[in-house]
């Protein structure tokens, strides 16, 4: 039996990695995503649907109620007309293009959008901004990515009268893992949170009910589901309109 839109759980699409992967006796390219994203969406009341970076078709958003642009590798500097920094490695131009198409379509159709870490960077680049390719060059420390596979802890200060402040108040401490960050801010983005060193930690798209990017990793803190709960709530409002 098919449920009505008003009583089904919102469907939240999440972009995925396409990476060389080993499992069992197999070594092949695979579409994958850390489970913490899935668990966060489910715990917030949504149904996660994975979106691989192949066969991109923005019409897939017609079956979704919300979209998450996940974290991952460095954004290709060619997407914002910059030469690569020596520390910019392991880029995936195909994924960049895939996510840019989905971001534009989501904004065009008012689909609730949460962009996480690399996702915020892709949101900024897609809307015409640029990136700082190696953040330690600008802030003179490695606290945003302390060591391989170790998340940093960053306190962020939040701008008032923003969606970010409604969710987190004036300040919050977050899990972070990145060496790139927003540099020139896209015209349609409003910066709504910064770290103490000035690094942009959150930004919102003007004129949208829920289009928010964060530089941190909310999926890494299962005790704080505020971002995912807000996304699912926005998706539910959209389905019942």
Convert the pLDDT of each residue in 104-122 to its tens digit.
999 999 999 999 999 999 9
Structural domain span for residue 195: 11-240
In percent, how much of the chain has pLDDT > 70? 98
DSSP assignment, residue 122?
A: H
Q: Answer yes or no: is 3 within a domain.
A: no
Alpha-carbon distance of 126 to 149, in angstroms, equals 27
Mark whether 220 is an active-site residue: no
Determine, yes or no, domain membership for 58. yes
Q: In the predicted model, is pLDDT for residue 90 greater than 70?
A: yes
Calculate what percentage of the chain has a pLDDT beyond 90.
Answer: 95
Which CATH number goes with the domain that contains 110?
3.40.50.880
Q: What is the pLDDT of residue 82?
A: 97
Residue partners of 231: CB distance under 8 A and separation at least 6: 12, 44, 46, 66, 68, 112, 114, 210
5 has a pLDDT exceeding 60: no
Q: Are 90 and 34 in contact (CB under 8 A)?
A: no
With tokens 């880029």, the residue in question is 91
Q: Which of 175, 168, 165, 167 is nearest to 230 (CA)?
A: 167
- Structural domain contains residue 6: no
> Residue 105, SS3?
helix
User: Active-site residue among 98, 178, 179, 217?
Assistant: 217
Task: Round to the nearest angstrom and report the end-to-end CA distance of the chain.
Answer: 22
Q: Is 73 in the active site?
A: no
Question: Is residue 183 included in any domain, yes or no?
Answer: yes
Catalytic-labelled residue, pool 99, 201, 204, 219: 219
Q: At residue 61, does pLDDT exceed 60?
A: yes
Is residue 160 a part of any domain in this protein? yes
Name the pTM for this structure.
Answer: 0.96
String of b and e for 71-106 (b: at least 16 CB within 10 Å)?
A: bbbbbbbebbebeebeebeebbeebbebbbbbbebb
Instruction: Give the chain's count of helices (H) and strands (E).
Output: 6, 13
Number of domains in the chain: 1
Q: Is residue 29 part of a domain?
A: yes
**Cβ atoms 41, 228 nearer than 8 A:** yes
Cα 174 from Cα 149, distance rounded (Å) = 16
Look at the alpha carbons of 111, 116, 121, 122 in this order and tell me if their dihedral is positive or negative. Answer: negative
**Would you state the pLDDT for residue 123?**
98
How far apart are the C-alpha atoms of 239 and 241, rounded to whole Å?
Answer: 6
pLDDT band at 1 (very low <50, low <70, confident <90, very high): very low
Among 71, 188, 67, which residue's Cα sits nearest to residue 120? 71
In this model, does residue 134 exceed pLDDT 50? yes
Task: Determine whether 155 is an active site residue.
Answer: no
Q: Which token pair is 93?
A: 């131009």
Residue at 4 is within a domain: no
Q: Which of 117, 144, 178, 220 is catalytic?
A: 117
Q: What is the pLDDT of residues 41-59, one digit of tens each?
A: 999 999 999 999 999 999 9
* pLDDT surpassing 50 at residue 60: yes
- With a CB cutoff of 8 Å and minimum separation 6, the contacts of 109 are 61
Report how far residue 196's alpha carbon sits from residue 153's, in angstroms, rounded to the nearest whole number. Answer: 12
Lowest mean pLDDT among 6-10, 77-81, 85-89, 108-112: 6-10
Is 229 within a domain?
Answer: yes
């Amino acid at each position: 039996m098919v449920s009505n839109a008003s009583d089904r759980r919102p469907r939240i699409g999440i972009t995925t990695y396409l990476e060389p992967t080993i499992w069992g006796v197999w070594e092949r390219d695979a579409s994958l995503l850390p489970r913490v994203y899935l668990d966060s969406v489910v715990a917030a009341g949504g149904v996660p649907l994975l979106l691989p970076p192949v066969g991109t078709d923005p019409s897939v958003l017609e079956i979704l109620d919300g979209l998450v642009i996940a974290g991952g590798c460095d954004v290709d500097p060619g997407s914002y007309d910059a030469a690569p920094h020596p520390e910019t490695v392991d880029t995936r131009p195909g994924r960049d293009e895939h996510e840019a198409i989905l971001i534009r379509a989501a904004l065009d159709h008012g689909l609730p959008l949460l962009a996480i870490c690399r996702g915020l960077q892709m949101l900024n680049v897609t809307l015409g901004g640029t990136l700082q390719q190696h953040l330690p060059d600008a802030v003179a420390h490695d606290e945003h990515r302390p060591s391989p596979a170790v998340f940093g802890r960053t306190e962020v200060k939040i701008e008032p009268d923003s969606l970010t402040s409604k969710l987190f108040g004036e300040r919050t401490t977050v899990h972070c893992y990145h060496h790139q960050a927003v540099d020139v801010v896209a015209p349609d983005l409003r910066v709504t949170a910064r770290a103490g060193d000035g690094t942009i930690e959150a930004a919102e798209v003007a004129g949208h009910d829920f289009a928010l990017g964060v530089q941190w990793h909310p999926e890494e803190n299962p005790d704080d589901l505020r971002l995912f709960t807000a996304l699912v709530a926005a998706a539910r409002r959209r389905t019942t309109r």
